Structure 1
């Protein structure tokens, strides 16, 4: 090997490393604040019903930019767009550390999400370009495993940092890594543009995005604004309806559009995508429920709260890597059924949580759910793409992953809505029984405050159990779809 070849190979490895590092950073920063919600809420005066925005703001923003990332790279240049996304991501991290109000913190998370939505697909593209053609097909599962590793390890890293320092260093520590990635990309990545100006269905993209943003805002803001008693909620509902109406008409009438109609004609892809939506619904919603339960209700410190997500992460990543290596004779439809069954079983076990339990049920049930999700993801991908025409697979990949992201963001929003509704309802039911005719009520103000705190504590825990039931129902609803899947055929 001559010096030039060695240098080129070393540069390719360095580029692949920083692309993978960027992939990990953008996925780990999504759940990073999960174990430190109580401290973040206290620092920025964020109410409980706003806590879910920490996740949904990042997710929804990333879903907006992910579909257009490749077009931006082709139009303005891969290197320029990637560097801009890195700078925006770093700015979002820095602004999060400066936030003193809920609005400022959520705005920083939105900026992080917008940048992450560009970084994720472009990082994969950069990494693939550094590999020989024969090694590229095997790279996809490794990249997905890294994304899952970031999601799984983010809360434990954030919890440890928060316990020993503060919540702001969680974001500070990512800044040097982003600077390193930016420097490596500046020195090693050659600028690349499309030879011809790329086309993109901005009308279809805009209509679909308007519908999803309207729906997300409706769910996130509805509880706080008393739903349709607020003009804002009516505006968001109308935006949602208009967006989806325009998108449906566009799909039915236009020859070329954001989502190819041929994708919806493939039964395996359509059914697998529906199940993958439920996968996303459960993936992050469980995390959004478990950590606050441990931190705020059961009183675990942030580092312990974060550590209790590790068994779930081990099960998720480990089962994913094993499932991708399943022998060809293993029917992926059976793996999907097994994955759904394990996730549903774990969610059913979570209904048995008690305020008197120790950490063991959380670790065990999380591990079981992680194994089920890890089996489900590669099996669904195999079935979804096995019957598609090869020319449709790139577009199908984008839609498939986008549906998972929207499943996650809508799932977090839904469980937050029902959590606060149920907490209020159960609290009212409990307090209504505290009358002088049923029990001896304390008369001092501190004692009454303590009694109210106890009732709120019990109501919140009961409400969390109700949200685990929603996750169980979500998996049970999609489980019959497995019966209609066709056995995968060999990929062309």
Structure 2
């Protein structure tokens, strides 16, 4: 097992103020990491010119970060046992800050891809360490509130990434997307160094075959999911080769890991029904959650011509609703069965996405804000109970290892969901382009009315260009509606899975 006793001998930071200072240090680190997952997406066009990169190659700036993140997440427990929790946190924050500064100074694509890989690896450690540390710092009765704070950062930061990135890029330049991490990271580093106590280090043997298989499988899968739609999936030899590696690596790792006791990750944690069910639901929930987070800004900016600042304001209420709901749920999680919160949250989230299937090119900002508030409330009612359930019946000694698996399920769920959403959007846009275009011809009864309303004559050379632009906008909007419909189905499919959650013994007193 990777770290069966990592926290068993770690002295608790008993002071309430002391624990919250540690929490602040971890939350600041998490904000940096989670923002950097999405903040760069809007800056890619600007980075292309500076780094002399093609549109196909510049996306490796995103892929490298996500792949390194996915591979490193399940290794956190083993590394924490080898180095100690405090030392690993300081190493990960320091590495992330240095890599961020060097990313901002990058002059070539190769440089920034390498540095983004380091960023993703160091960043993954911080997210898992944050959750496992808070599980250990806060006892059962207070854990709900602690997980509410962790979940609030986890939900809100990636959603604000594109908006924040757009504003910084527009007013300061893309390099400041990385430089801005420096003061935040240094403050988090100093606060963590001052407040965290040293933890025991273990001389563990590293399961190198298991590590290699896991890295090959998860790394290949993440690259396939990140680049599949752009490279036309299995029309690409690279995607085919990586898919074969992913299947081989993951299946061999799972079969081998279930049969041996010293696997790099203890797969026997899935024998705990609460943990296994919560992890499964988290992965499925991730299929739909980040789909709306990623797709909605694209729709608002590309079709409705919203500026980045405007997108931020119309999406901000969702983050506020989610944060407030998580804090409320954290206070009441020990009074009611978590399943009740999750059912209500799934229904609200599904309803909010169903409302989005009625969007058009002419919606007002109100149509973005009020479904977002409903979705934010639903997200807040789902995530805190799921996190509490996952760790409720596990011993504290395995919390770091369990957190790694839990976060890996979330990460892969998000990646699979975004990959599917992107494919649905691309394919449905093309299908709708062909279907709608078939109704446009010079004999159409509605064409003269449209030309008159547009102030154009039939022989005007601008007619067909404007028609093509209008056709694409309508086709892409229908594509977005199809994506929202698919996400709605995913959310409602969660309801039967909730029945698998065992009844929780509520704390007394």
**TM-score, length-scaled by structure 1:** 0.83
Aligned to 2:319: 313
CA distance in 2, matches of 1:398, 1:425: 40
Distance apart, 1:198 and its partner CA: 2.7
Once structures 1 and 2 are overlaid, which stretch shifts more, 448-457 or 101-110?
Answer: 101-110
Q: Is the 8 A contact 1:96 1:109 kept in 2?
A: yes
1:223-282: CA deviations, max 9, x gaps? Answer: 333333332122112101111220232134223434444433333333322211122223
Q: 1:52 to 1:453 in 2, by over 3 A?
A: farther
Aligned to 2:465: 449
Q: 2:92 aligns with which of 85, 103, 112?
A: 85
Q: 2:498 aligns with which of 454, 457, 482?
A: 482
Once structures 1 and 2 are overlaid, which stretch shifts more, 430-439 or 369-378?
Answer: 430-439
| Alignment root-mean-square deviation, CA | 3.7
Distance apart, 1:323 and its partner CA: 0.9
Aligned to 2:433: 427
Q: Is the 8 A contact 2:77 2:400 kept in 1?
A: no
Q: 1:100 to 1:306 in 2, by over 3 A?
A: farther
Distance apart, 1:156 and its partner CA: 4.4
1:359-412: CA deviations, max 9, x gaps? Answer: 111111111111111101122233344455666555333322221122112222
Q: 2:347 aligns with which of 332, 337, 341?
A: 341
Distance apart, 1:464 and its partner CA: 1.3
Unaligned 5+ runs, structure 2: 1-14, 449-456
Q: Is the 8 A contact 1:309 1:366 kept in 2?
A: yes
Distance apart, 1:308 and its partner CA: 1.9
1:26 aligned to 2:33? yes
CA distance in 2, matches of 1:111, 1:215: 19
Aligned to 1:118: 125
CA distance in 1, matches of 2:415, 2:482: 19
Distance apart, 1:105 and its partner CA: 5.7
Distance apart, 1:482 and its partner CA: 1.8
Q: 2:275 aligns with which of 243, 257, 269?
A: 269
Q: Is the 8 A contact 2:30 2:153 kept in 1?
A: yes
**TM-score, length-scaled by structure 2:** 0.81
1:173 aligned to 2:180? yes
Aligned to 1:361: 367
CA distance in 1, matches of 2:431, 2:102: 37
Q: Is the 8 A contact 1:155 1:309 kept in 2?
A: no
CA distance in 2, matches of 1:185, 1:394: 18
SS, match of residue 484 in structure 1 = coil
1:239 aligned to 2:245? yes
Q: Is the 8 A contact 2:77 2:401 kept in 1?
A: no
Alignment of 1:93-492 (within 5 A): 93-97=100-104, 108-123=115-130, 137=143, 139-182=146-189, 188=194, 192=198, 194-326=200-332, 328-388=334-394, 393-438=399-444, 446-490=462-506
1:284-327: CA deviations, max 9, x gaps? Answer: 22111011111122111111112222111112111111111116
SS, match of residue 241 in structure 1 = helix
Q: Is the 8 A contact 1:315 1:370 kept in 2?
A: yes
Distance apart, 1:110 and its partner CA: 3.4
CA distance in 1, matches of 2:100, 2:506: 44
Once structures 1 and 2 are overlaid, which stretch shifts more, 421-430 or 89-98?
Answer: 89-98
Q: 1:79 to 1:275 in 2, by over 3 A?
A: closer
Q: 1:98 to 1:460 in 2, by over 3 A?
A: farther
